[in-house]
């Protein structure tokens, strides 16, 4: 089956990684899956010519609004994968909500990462009952064996012996919903007390205006550094050398960075929001904080209690192995695409 797959494909972001993984699942089943950046198209009319010219037989979109709206009205069977932004943010805007409801009406199936996400969708669009499937993100990590930790520290302008450092890595695209400035003041105060602790923010510049705010904040903060986006293999290798992965988002669907950290046997410190609490059980698979002061308290515990670190690592790894199987995810998407093939035959 020849499939068009639309997703926002900014390099090294969770969306791009998820889309590439799903594309690989479908091509392993013998389908031809053409992945295109949804940002290239302004409206469904822009997609119409592509569908006709390349003779696509079905389609898939990541994000109900940003990708799904482009597939409306083409009389081609398609499925949807929900993201955090569409459920947590876009659904609160009436104009977008109406479009998203219409997309769900046309979609043959939709995939939510969690039961909680599915319930949130059904609260907004009860007519979608019966077509929403729950499939957690599958995780596969590939650290770059040639990664140089000392070079990473030099890029981050951290001039201390690696053996005496405690580096916390905050991985996010620079946009407001990720709230990378949330912990700056509290972390800076901790760095004044303990100069060996650093927080490094790594991610692409998604929102140029907000990026300027982040740069200005980091310049004023002690012990905090800002790096641009990194290739996935390098990012995974850097994570393995860090004290913990940090997530400070205002909202999340399912954070791939958290799951990747668990798979890499790295402790997780995450803001206590519904999307994070779905995958992080406090003091079992990670640590959840409700404010910057609690973050510092928990980070200090992590640094000073090796037994706690060891327990979080073991439980996090076991959780990912049990519930975020890459193989199960592959089976699910290959099965769902069969629904589109059935619609073609009908």
Residue 71 lies in a domain: yes
Distance from C-alpha of 257 to C-alpha of 217, rounded to nearest angstrom: 23
Residues 153 and 259 in one domain: yes
pLDDT at 12 over 70: no
Q: Is the pTM of this model over 0.85?
A: no
Distance from C-alpha of 172 to C-alpha of 175, rounded to nearest angstrom: 8
Backbone angles phi, psi at 239, to 5 degrees: -55, -40
Residues 92 and 174 in one domain: no
Residue 174 lies in a domain: yes
Q: Summarize pLDDT for 239-275 with one digit per residue, the tens.
A: 999 999 999 999 887 888 999 999 999 999 999 998 8
Residue 113 lies in a domain: yes
Residue 143 lies in a domain: no
- Beta-sheet strand order (sheet of 2-7): 32-37, 2-7, 58-62, 78-81, 109-112, 132-134
Residues 9 and 122 in one domain: yes
Residues 103 and 34 in one domain: yes
Q: What's the alpha-carbon Rg for the chain, to the nearest Å? A: 21
Residues 13 and 132 in one domain: yes
Q: What is the CATH number of the domain that holds 44?
A: 3.40.50.2000
Residues 235 and 303 in one domain: yes
What integer best gives the mean pLDDT of the chain?
92
Distance from C-alpha of 18 to C-alpha of 273, rounded to nearest angstrom: 22
Residue 144 lies in a domain: no
Residue 176 lies in a domain: yes
Q: At what angle do helices 256-263 and 306-323 cross, to 10 degrees?
A: 110
Name the more confident of 287 and 206.
287
Residues 245 and 319 in one domain: yes
Residues 73 and 194 in one domain: no
User: What domain range includes position 241?
Assistant: 149-323
Q: How confident is the model at residue 236 (pLDDT cuts 50, 70, 90)?
A: very high
Per the listing, tokens 């409801």 go with: 101
Backbone angles phi, psi at 193, to 5 degrees: -75, -35
Residue 7 lies in a domain: yes
Tally the domains of the chain: 2
What pLDDT, on the 0 to 100 scale, is given for residue 1? 92
Residue 198 lies in a domain: yes
Residues 66 and 154 in one domain: no
Backbone angles phi, psi at 201, to 5 degrees: -95, 125
What pLDDT, on the 0 to 100 scale, is given for residue 91? 73
Average pLDDT over every residue of 290-300:
98
Average pLDDT over every residue of 226-250:
95
Name the more confident of 157 and 206.
157
Name the more confident of 219 and 342.
219
Distance from C-alpha of 22 to C-alpha of 31, rounded to nearest angstrom: 12
Residues 126 and 181 in one domain: no
Residues 9 and 67 in one domain: yes
Residues 86 and 113 in one domain: yes
């Amino acid at each position: 089956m020849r499939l068009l797959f639309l997703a926002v494909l900014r390099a090294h972001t969770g969306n791009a990684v998820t889309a590439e993984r799903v594309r690989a699942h479908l091509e392993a089943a013998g389908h031809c899956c053409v992945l295109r950046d949804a940002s290239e198209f302004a409206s469904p009319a822009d997609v119409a010519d592509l569908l006709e010219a390349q003779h696509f037989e079905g389609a898939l979109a990541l994000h109900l609004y940003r990708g799904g709206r482009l597939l409306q009205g083409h009389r081609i069977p398609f499925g949807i994968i929900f993201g955090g932004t569409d459920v947590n943010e876009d659904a609160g805007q009436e104009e977008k909500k109406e479009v998203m409801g219409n997309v769900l009406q046309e979609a043959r199936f939709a995939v939510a990462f969690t039961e909680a996400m599915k319930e949130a969708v059904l609260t907004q669009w009860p007519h979608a009952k019966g077509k929403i499937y729950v499939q957690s993100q599958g995780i596969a990590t590939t650290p770059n064996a040639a990664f140089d930790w000392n070079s990473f520290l030099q890029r981050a302008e951290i001039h201390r012996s690696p053996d005496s450092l405690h580096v916390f890595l905050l991985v996010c695209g620079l946009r407001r919903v990720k709230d990378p400035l949330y912990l700056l003041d509290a972390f800076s105060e901790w760095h004044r007390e303990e100069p060996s602790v650093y927080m490094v923010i790594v991610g692409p510049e998604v929102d140029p205006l907000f990026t300027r705010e982040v740069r200005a904040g980091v310049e004023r903060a002690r012990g905090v550094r800002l790096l641009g986006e990194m290739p996935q293999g390098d990012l995974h290798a850097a994570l393995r050398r860090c004290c913990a992965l940090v997530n400070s988002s205002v909202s999340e669907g399912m954070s791939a960075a958290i799951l990747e950290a668990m798979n890499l046997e790295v402790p997780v410190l995450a803001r206590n929001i519904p999307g994070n609490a779905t995958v992080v059980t406090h003091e079992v698979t990670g640590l959840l904080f409700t404010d910057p002061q609690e973050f510092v308290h928990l980070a200090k515990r992590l640094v000073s209690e090796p037994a706690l670190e060891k327990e979080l690592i073991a439980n996090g790894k076991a959780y990912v192995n049990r519930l975020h199987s890459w193989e199960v995810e592959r089976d699910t998407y290959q099965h769902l695409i069969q629904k589109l093939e059935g619609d073609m035959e009908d």
